[in-house]
Amino acid sequence: MRTKVISSTIQLEQIISACRSKGLTIGFVPTMGALHEGHLSLIKSSKEQTDFTVCSIFVNPKQFNKAEDLDHYPRSLKMDVSKLEAAKCDLVFAPTENEIYQDEVPFEFDFAGLDQYMEGKFRSGHFNGVVHVVKRLFEIVRPEKAFFGLKDYQQFVIIQQLVRFFNLPIDVVGCPTVREKNGLALSSRNSQLDTKDIPAALELSKALNLIKSRFQKSNLDALKKQAINQLEQHTKLEYLIIANSRTLSPIEKWSDAQHARAFVAAEVGGVRLIDNVEIF
Ligand code: AMP
């Protein structure tokens, strides 16, 4: 069956209601398009765990804090739709900005401190934009399960908080980061990288792996300094943070947390990249 592509909220709600009346469960994968294997792994998980998979493609202006970043964000709807068709995604929702926001009811949201560090700190207003679009999309699609990549770990934790805060009956599923063989985390932004910048881009996953491989053997501060030093030689480093996986607050000693992840953001050849890895 061909994958249906729609842009109307009313039409989407009708299709979802028809699925519901047949007793089908809905899986939802929100994206900004320029799809790659990382996105398709979320579609695969949704297809395995639910009966009807909806993928949204919407480049959300509210989550960009720089106009030029929004302007340069890659857009490739036609190619995206053929990839989703090959992945047997049931429905593609590609709304306009007006379609998404016209019926939005303003709301207050408590981030519970999860937006204080990393992307929340360095991209002012970013998560506010994310939370607004995802809440709106959740209201329209009303999925049983929603699939998010751990590549954007802070976003994943904030979406869990969104669901908790509004008591939404949605299971937020985190899916592992898909990488190139060389370790580079797949990202829509990678298409903007010049070939000559790839070795520098690889420094992000290398730094994270250094921390992961040495954490039991090295003092946290010394290891962090070594990774930062390495990153600064090849990239324009924004942050390298080792944080508690639950609260996302930075840790000073390995014994400060039971679960920790390392997070990095850096610019390479004018392209901003992020990555993270579980340490323990
Ligand atoms: P985006 O289109 O960048 O907003 O991403 C849409 C979804 O795909 C988000 O849940 C991302 O975390 C997820 N995603 C992006 N890159 C990857 C990747 N390399 N592996 C797994 N999931 C990813």
Structural domains counted in the chain: 2
Q: How far is the CA of 139 from the centre of ligand 1 (A)?
A: 21
- The yes-or-no answer on residue 259 being catalytic is no
One domain, residues 215 and 245:
yes
pLDDT digits (tens, 9 = 90+) for 124-175: 999 999 999 999 999 999 999 999 999 999 999 999 999 999 999 999 999 9
Of the residues 117, 141, 175, which one is the last residue of a structural domain? 175
Alpha-carbon distance of 239 to 236, in angstroms, equals: 9
Ligand 1 pocket check for 55: Cβ under 6 Å: no
Q: How far is the CA of 149 from the centre of ligand 1 (A)?
A: 5
One domain, residues 211 and 167:
no
The answer to whether residue 234 sits within a structural domain is: yes
pLDDT at site 103:
84
Q: How does the average pLDDT of the chain come out, rounded? A: 96
One domain, residues 134 and 57:
yes
Exposure of 258 by Cβ count < 10 A (0-12 exposed, 13-18 middle, 19+ buried)? exposed
Of the residues 153, 175, 197, which one is the last residue of a structural domain? 175
One domain, residues 72 and 162:
yes
Structural domain of residue 80, as residue ranges? 4-175
pLDDT at site 63:
92
One domain, residues 36 and 85:
yes
Helix (H) or strand (E) holding 278: strand 271-278
The residues, ordered by sequence, that sit 6+ positions from 113 with a Cβ below 8 Å of its Cβ are 247, 248, 249
Ligand 1 pocket check for 184: Cβ under 6 Å: no
The answer to whether residue 40 sits within a structural domain is: yes
pLDDT at site 118:
98
Residue 104 has pLDDT above 90, yes or no: no
Name the band, by pLDDT with cuts 50, 70 and 90, for residue 69.
confident
Q: How far is CA 119 from CA 126, 132, 205, 241, 272, in A?
A: 8, 16, 17, 11, 11
Ligand 1 pocket check for 39: Cβ under 6 Å: yes
Asked whether the whole model's pTM tops 0.95, one would answer yes
One domain, residues 142 and 209:
no
Q: How far is the CA of 178 from the centre of ligand 1 (A)?
A: 9
Is pLDDT larger for residue 67 or for residue 185? 185
Catalytic residue among 36, 39, 234, 259: 39
For ligand 1, pick from 29, 32, 36, 39 the residue to mutate: most ligand atoms within 8 Å of CB. Answer: 39
One domain, residues 170 and 196:
no
Alpha-carbon distance of 241 to 232, in angstroms, equals: 14
DSSP 3-state of 132: helix
Q: How many CA atoms within 13 Å lie on the side-chain side of 86? A: 12
One domain, residues 152 and 197:
no
Can you tell me the mean pLDDT for 182-194? 96
Radius of gyration over alpha carbons of the chain, in Å?
A: 19
Within the chain, residue ranges assigned H as helices are: 9-21, 37-49, 67-72, 77-86, 97-101, 118-122, 126-141, 153-165, 198-214, 220-234
Of the residues 126, 141, 175, which one is the last residue of a structural domain? 175
For ligand 1, pick from 37, 40, 42, 208 the residue to mutate: most ligand atoms within 8 Å of CB. Answer: 42
